[in-house]
Amino acid sequence: MQTRERLMPLLPVLGGVMVAIGSALTWVTVDVGFATFSSTGLDSNDGKLTAAAALVMIAAAILLASTRDTIRTVAGIAGLAATLFAAIVLINDYLDVRERIANTPADQATAAVGIGVWVSLIGCLLALVAFSRAIALDRRSPERERLIA
């Protein structure tokens, strides 16, 4: 196994860690003039879902280090599914916050999407690329072609 292949699982681990950290960071900040409120991802069910998806992503990435093709393929697909799930939850929350911002009169309150959503989305993008690449590389594996033939 080449060094490059050994380092491949580190990318989705990093992505999963970023999603987990982003889930604990601020997702929304609201300023109503006399007070400012903020909410982390873990304050909502959506943040708990993305944190759980991050754990699946990390576990799947660790399994990518396995030498058995079947385990690597299943882990890659599970990691990709968890990544897509987390991304959908994050995008849905982002759009929900943006809609609430648009519907709130500017003289009453201002709101902003927090850093946690951005960190988590970047982690999802990193993991998405890494899991997709791992699955593609496993499909082109010479060992896999010997098993099929």
Beta strands in 1-149 (DSSP E): 26-31, 36-40, 110-113
What pLDDT is stored for residue 135 in this prediction?
A: 82
Least confident range from 30-39, 51-60, 65-74, 124-133: namely: 65-74
Give per-residue pLDDT as tens, 4-26.
Answer: 666 677 889 999 999 999 999 99
Answer whether residue 2 is part of any domain.
no
Answer whether residue 3 is part of any domain.
no
The answer on pLDDT for 144 being more than 60 is no
Does this model's pTM top 0.75?
Answer: yes
The answer on pLDDT for 148 being more than 70 is no
Answer whether residue 1 is part of any domain.
no
How many domains would you assign to the chain?
A: 1
Answer whether residue 101 is part of any domain.
yes
pLDDT band for 136, please (50, 70, 90 cuts). Answer: confident
Three-state DSSP state, 94? helix
Q: Which domain holds residue 132?
A: 9-148
What pLDDT is stored for residue 6 in this prediction?
A: 63
pLDDT band for 67, please (50, 70, 90 cuts). Answer: low
Q: What is the mean pLDDT of residues 57-67?
A: 85
Structure-token pair, residue 98: 């943006």
Give the CATH number, domain containing residue 133. 1.20.140
State the chain's maximal CA–CA distance in angstroms. Answer: 71
The answer on pLDDT for 35 being more than 70 is yes
The residues, ordered by sequence, that sit 6+ positions from 127 with a Cβ below 8 Å of its Cβ are: 11, 12, 14, 15, 16, 19, 57, 61, 79, 83
Answer whether residue 104 is part of any domain.
yes
